[in-house]
Amino acid sequence: MLVLFFFSCSQTKGTSSFGKRRNKTHTLCRRCGRSSYHIQKSQCAQCGYPAKKMRSYNWSIKAKRRKTTGTGRMRHLKIVRRKFKNGFREGLPKPKAVAAK
């Protein structure tokens, strides 16, 4: 008696089953704007939202370098740096002292 077993292709986890995936696991994050917010976990894989602190790890120094201070507009810090060079002086310059005769 000859018994043959036929295994269907649906038992695999690889290439053939990737075409069957149609549900979104991630959507746009409110904080970082990337499509990394996991819908069921309610947590962003990129920035860690809704955690108060931004997600960053020392094992990914390149990622830290991309997101650190100085990579964006620095609207406020540009002004502070310029004021620091002048010693935080404000207002009109002091009048020059008249030489006594």
Determine the average pLDDT of the residues in 3-28.
Answer: 82
Q: Which fold has domain 25-61?
A: N-terminal domain of TfIIb (2.20.25)
CB burial class (10 A; 0-12, 13-18, 19+) of residue 44? buried
Q: How confident is the model at residue 4 (pLDDT cuts 50, 70, 90)?
A: low
- Using CB atoms within 10 Å of the CB of residue 48, give its burial: 0 to 12 exposed, 13 to 18 middle, 19+ buried: middle
C-beta of residue 69 within 8 angstroms of C-beta of residue 56: no
What are the pLDDT digits (tens) for 51-70?
999 999 999 999 999 999 99
Model confidence pTM above 0.95: no
